[in-house]
Protein backbone atom coordinates (compact mmCIF):
# COMPACT_ATOMS: atom_id res chain seq x y z
CA UNK A 1 0.00 0.00 0.00
CA UNK A 2 2.89 2.36 0.79
CA UNK A 3 4.34 1.78 -2.66
CA UNK A 4 1.04 2.46 -4.40
CA UNK A 5 0.56 5.64 -2.33
CA UNK A 6 4.03 6.85 -3.27
CA UNK A 7 3.38 6.14 -6.94
CA UNK A 8 0.02 7.88 -6.77
CA UNK A 9 1.57 10.92 -5.11
CA UNK A 10 4.33 11.12 -7.70
CA UNK A 11 1.89 10.74 -10.57
CA UNK A 12 -0.34 13.45 -9.12
CA UNK A 13 2.66 15.74 -8.64
CA UNK A 14 3.84 15.16 -12.23
CA UNK A 15 0.34 15.77 -13.54
CA UNK A 16 0.01 19.02 -11.61
CA UNK A 17 3.42 20.12 -12.86
CA UNK A 18 2.36 19.43 -16.42
CA UNK A 19 -0.80 21.46 -15.97
CA UNK A 20 0.82 24.46 -14.27
CA UNK A 21 4.12 24.75 -16.15
CA UNK A 22 4.68 25.20 -19.87
CA UNK A 23 7.02 22.75 -21.65
CA UNK A 24 9.68 25.44 -22.13
CA UNK A 25 9.57 26.26 -18.41
CA UNK A 26 9.91 22.61 -17.44
CA UNK A 27 12.90 22.25 -19.79
CA UNK A 28 14.53 25.36 -18.32
CA UNK A 29 13.98 24.09 -14.78
CA UNK A 30 15.63 20.79 -15.68
CA UNK A 31 18.75 22.71 -16.74
CA UNK A 32 18.65 24.88 -13.62
CA UNK A 33 18.40 21.88 -11.28
CA UNK A 34 21.11 20.04 -13.23
CA UNK A 35 23.46 22.99 -12.73
CA UNK A 36 22.46 23.20 -9.07
CA UNK A 37 23.21 19.50 -8.57
CA UNK A 38 26.61 19.91 -10.23
CA UNK A 39 27.41 22.91 -8.04
CA UNK A 40 26.49 20.99 -4.89
CA UNK A 41 28.73 18.13 -6.06
CA UNK A 42 31.58 20.61 -6.59
CA UNK A 43 31.01 21.97 -3.07
CA UNK A 44 31.18 18.43 -1.70
CA UNK A 45 34.50 17.84 -3.46
CA UNK A 46 35.83 21.14 -2.11
CA UNK A 47 34.85 20.18 1.43
CA UNK A 48 36.51 16.78 1.11
CA UNK A 49 39.72 18.40 -0.12
CA UNK A 50 39.86 20.39 3.10
CA UNK A 51 38.78 17.54 5.39
CA UNK A 52 41.34 15.15 3.89
CA UNK A 53 44.09 17.70 4.50
CA UNK A 54 44.98 17.90 0.80
CA UNK A 55 44.80 21.70 0.85
CA UNK A 56 43.63 23.96 3.65
CA UNK A 57 43.13 27.63 2.93
CA UNK A 58 40.28 28.77 5.17
CA UNK A 59 39.67 32.50 4.67
CA UNK A 60 41.55 32.46 1.35
CA UNK A 61 38.98 30.03 -0.06
CA UNK A 62 36.18 32.40 0.89
CA UNK A 63 37.95 35.29 -0.84
CA UNK A 64 38.48 33.21 -3.99
CA UNK A 65 34.81 32.19 -4.02
CA UNK A 66 33.81 35.86 -3.79
CA UNK A 67 36.09 36.66 -6.72
CA UNK A 68 34.60 33.84 -8.78
CA UNK A 69 31.00 34.83 -8.11
CA UNK A 70 31.80 38.46 -8.99
CA UNK A 71 33.36 37.25 -12.22
CA UNK A 72 30.21 35.28 -12.92
CA UNK A 73 27.94 38.24 -12.17
CA UNK A 74 29.94 40.61 -14.38
CA UNK A 75 30.02 38.09 -17.24
CA UNK A 76 26.45 38.21 -18.53
CA UNK A 77 25.02 35.37 -20.57
CA UNK A 78 25.37 36.02 -24.30
CA UNK A 79 24.39 32.57 -25.52
CA UNK A 80 28.00 31.67 -26.41
CA UNK A 81 29.85 31.74 -23.09
CA UNK A 82 28.02 28.93 -21.28
CA UNK A 83 31.15 26.80 -20.78
CA UNK A 84 33.14 29.66 -19.25
CA UNK A 85 30.30 30.69 -16.94
CA UNK A 86 29.66 27.07 -15.99
CA UNK A 87 33.34 26.74 -15.07
CA UNK A 88 33.07 29.84 -12.88
CA UNK A 89 29.98 28.36 -11.23
CA UNK A 90 31.78 25.08 -10.54
CA UNK A 91 34.77 26.96 -9.14
CA UNK A 92 32.50 29.01 -6.89
CA UNK A 93 30.82 25.84 -5.65
CA UNK A 94 34.14 24.11 -4.98
CA UNK A 95 35.70 27.01 -3.07
CA UNK A 96 32.48 27.64 -1.16
CA UNK A 97 32.54 24.00 -0.04
CA UNK A 98 36.25 24.29 0.74
CA UNK A 99 35.67 27.36 2.92
CA UNK A 100 33.01 25.36 4.76
CA UNK A 101 35.67 22.81 5.74
CA UNK A 102 36.61 24.53 9.01
CA UNK A 103 33.02 24.44 10.23
CA UNK A 104 32.64 20.83 9.12
CA UNK A 105 35.79 19.88 11.08
CA UNK A 106 34.31 21.32 14.27
CA UNK A 107 30.95 19.63 13.66
CA UNK A 108 32.54 16.24 12.97
CA UNK A 109 34.58 16.56 16.16
CA UNK A 110 31.34 16.97 18.14
CA UNK A 111 29.34 14.30 16.29
CA UNK A 112 29.80 13.20 12.64
CA UNK A 113 26.10 12.24 12.43
CA UNK A 114 25.23 15.94 12.56
CA UNK A 115 26.52 16.40 9.01
CA UNK A 116 24.22 13.69 7.69
CA UNK A 117 21.26 15.10 9.62
CA UNK A 118 21.95 18.59 8.25
CA UNK A 119 22.19 17.23 4.70
CA UNK A 120 18.90 15.38 5.03
CA UNK A 121 17.26 18.42 6.61
CA UNK A 122 18.52 20.76 3.89
CA UNK A 123 17.39 18.39 1.14
CA UNK A 124 13.95 18.00 2.72
CA UNK A 125 13.46 21.74 3.19
CA UNK A 126 14.58 22.52 -0.36
CA UNK A 127 12.48 19.77 -1.96
CA UNK A 128 9.29 20.60 -0.08
CA UNK A 129 9.53 24.36 -0.55
CA UNK A 130 10.51 24.06 -4.22
CA UNK A 131 7.51 21.81 -4.85
CA UNK A 132 5.27 24.27 -3.00
CA UNK A 133 6.54 27.16 -5.12
CA UNK A 134 6.16 25.23 -8.39
CA UNK A 135 2.63 24.07 -7.62
CA UNK A 136 1.41 27.34 -6.12
CA UNK A 137 -0.56 29.98 -7.96
CA UNK A 138 1.59 32.01 -10.33
CA UNK A 139 3.42 34.78 -8.49
CA UNK A 140 1.95 33.83 -5.12
CA UNK A 141 5.25 34.13 -3.24
CA UNK A 142 6.83 37.03 -5.11
CA UNK A 143 5.63 39.46 -2.43
CA UNK A 144 8.17 37.84 -0.10
CA UNK A 145 11.10 39.46 -1.89
CA UNK A 146 10.86 42.85 -0.22
CA UNK A 147 10.12 41.38 3.21
CA UNK A 148 13.03 38.93 3.04
CA UNK A 149 15.54 41.53 1.82
CA UNK A 150 14.46 43.99 4.51
CA UNK A 151 14.81 41.29 7.15
CA UNK A 152 18.29 40.37 5.90
CA UNK A 153 19.36 44.01 5.96
CA UNK A 154 18.06 44.42 9.52
CA UNK A 155 19.81 41.23 10.61
CA UNK A 156 23.09 42.48 9.11
CA UNK A 157 22.85 45.76 11.01
CA UNK A 158 21.99 43.96 14.25
CA UNK A 159 24.92 41.60 13.76
CA UNK A 160 27.29 44.54 13.30
CA UNK A 161 25.98 46.14 16.47
CA UNK A 162 26.29 42.85 18.30
CA UNK A 163 30.04 42.84 17.68
CA UNK A 164 30.20 45.30 20.57
CA UNK A 165 27.62 43.77 22.92
CA UNK A 166 28.20 40.03 22.24
CA UNK A 167 24.63 39.10 23.12
CA UNK A 168 23.94 35.35 23.03
CA UNK A 169 20.23 36.04 22.49
CA UNK A 170 20.94 38.15 19.39
CA UNK A 171 23.22 35.46 17.98
CA UNK A 172 20.54 32.82 18.44
CA UNK A 173 17.86 35.09 16.98
CA UNK A 174 19.96 35.75 13.89
CA UNK A 175 20.66 32.05 13.52
CA UNK A 176 17.05 30.85 13.62
CA UNK A 177 15.62 33.88 11.86
CA UNK A 178 18.25 33.46 9.17
CA UNK A 179 17.15 29.86 8.65
CA UNK A 180 13.55 30.99 8.22
CA UNK A 181 14.55 33.79 5.84
CA UNK A 182 16.67 31.55 3.62
CA UNK A 183 13.84 29.01 3.53
CA UNK A 184 11.55 31.81 2.38
CA UNK A 185 14.04 32.69 -0.34
CA UNK A 186 13.58 29.21 -1.83
CA UNK A 187 9.90 30.02 -2.39
CA UNK A 188 10.69 33.47 -3.74
CA UNK A 189 13.67 32.53 -5.93
CA UNK A 190 11.90 29.53 -7.44
CA UNK A 191 8.91 31.60 -8.54
CA UNK A 192 11.20 34.43 -9.67
CA UNK A 193 13.10 31.98 -11.88
CA UNK A 194 9.80 30.97 -13.50
CA UNK A 195 8.85 34.59 -14.17
CA UNK A 196 12.31 35.54 -15.46
CA UNK A 197 12.20 32.67 -17.92
CA UNK A 198 8.71 33.63 -19.08
CA UNK A 199 10.06 37.13 -19.74
CA UNK A 200 12.83 35.71 -21.92
CA UNK A 201 15.72 34.91 -19.55
CA UNK A 202 17.35 31.52 -20.23
CA UNK A 203 20.32 32.03 -17.92
CA UNK A 204 20.24 28.70 -16.08
CA UNK A 205 23.68 29.46 -14.58
CA UNK A 206 22.51 32.59 -12.76
CA UNK A 207 19.26 30.95 -11.73
CA UNK A 208 21.02 27.92 -10.25
CA UNK A 209 23.43 30.27 -8.44
CA UNK A 210 20.48 31.87 -6.62
CA UNK A 211 19.22 28.48 -5.46
CA UNK A 212 22.70 27.26 -4.48
CA UNK A 213 23.14 30.26 -2.21
CA UNK A 214 19.84 29.40 -0.52
CA UNK A 215 20.84 25.75 -0.11
CA UNK A 216 24.33 26.39 1.28
CA UNK A 217 23.02 29.04 3.68
CA UNK A 218 20.39 26.66 5.07
CA UNK A 219 22.95 23.84 5.37
CA UNK A 220 25.41 26.06 7.23
CA UNK A 221 22.79 27.23 9.71
CA UNK A 222 21.50 23.72 10.31
CA UNK A 223 25.05 22.59 11.07
CA UNK A 224 25.43 25.29 13.71
CA UNK A 225 21.98 24.76 15.24
CA UNK A 226 22.37 20.97 15.48
CA UNK A 227 25.89 21.26 16.88
CA UNK A 228 24.75 23.67 19.57
CA UNK A 229 21.94 21.31 20.55
CA UNK A 230 24.36 18.39 20.73
CA UNK A 231 26.75 20.35 22.92
CA UNK A 232 23.92 21.45 25.21
CA UNK A 233 22.78 17.84 25.58
CA UNK A 234 26.33 16.80 26.47
CA UNK A 235 26.53 19.51 29.13
CA UNK A 236 23.22 18.40 30.64
CA UNK A 237 24.42 14.80 30.79
CA UNK A 238 27.64 15.84 32.54
CA UNK A 239 25.73 17.98 35.04
CA UNK A 240 23.31 15.15 35.78
CA UNK A 241 26.16 12.74 36.37
For 136, other C-beta atoms within 10 Å of its C-beta total 14
pLDDT in the model for residue 114 = 97
Whether residue 121 contacts residue 183, with contact meaning beta carbons closer than 8 Å, is answered with no
CA atoms of 238 and 136, how far apart (whole Å): 48
- pLDDT tens string 208-218: 999 999 999 99
Helix, strand, or coil (residue 140): coil
Q: Which residues contact 208 (CB under 8 A, 6 or more apart)?
A: 32, 33, 35, 36, 39, 89
Q: What is the mean pLDDT of the chain?
A: 90
Residue 125 covered by a domain: yes
Residue 5 in this model has a pLDDT that exceeds 60: no
Q: Given CA atoms 28, 31, 33, 36 in this order, what sign does their dihedral have?
A: negative
Q: Is residue 149 part of a domain?
A: yes
Q: What per-residue confidence (pLDDT) applies to 12?
A: 67
Q: What is the pLDDT of residues 138-192, one digit of tens each?
A: 999 999 999 999 999 999 898 888 878 788 888 898 999 999 999 999 999 999 9
pLDDT given at position 166:
80
Q: Is residue 241 part of a domain?
A: no
Mean pLDDT across 73-80: 90
Domains contained in the chain, number: 1
pLDDT digit string (tens) for 99-144?
999 999 999 999 999 999 999 999 999 999 999 999 999 999 999 9
Banded pLDDT at 4 (limits 50, 70, 90)? very low
Question: Could you list the residue range(s) of the whole structural domain that residue 52 is in?
Answer: 2-236
pLDDT for the residue 150 = 95
High-pLDDT (> 90) share of the chain, %: 73
- Identify whether 73 is part of a domain: yes
Instruction: Return all residues near 215 (Cβ < 8 A) that are at least 6 apart.
Output: 36, 40, 122, 126
Does residue 141 sit within a domain?
A: yes
The rounded distance, in Å, linking the Cα atoms of 203 and 197 is 8
Q: Is the pLDDT of residue 11 over 70?
A: no
In a domain, 204, yes or no: yes
Amino acid sequence: MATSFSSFSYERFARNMGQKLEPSVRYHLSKVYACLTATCAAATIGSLIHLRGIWEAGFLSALISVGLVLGLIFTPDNGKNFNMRFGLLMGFGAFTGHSLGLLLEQVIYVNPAIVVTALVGTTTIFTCLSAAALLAKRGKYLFLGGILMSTLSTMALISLGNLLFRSYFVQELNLYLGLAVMSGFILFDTQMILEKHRMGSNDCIAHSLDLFYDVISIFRRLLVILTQKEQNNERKKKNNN
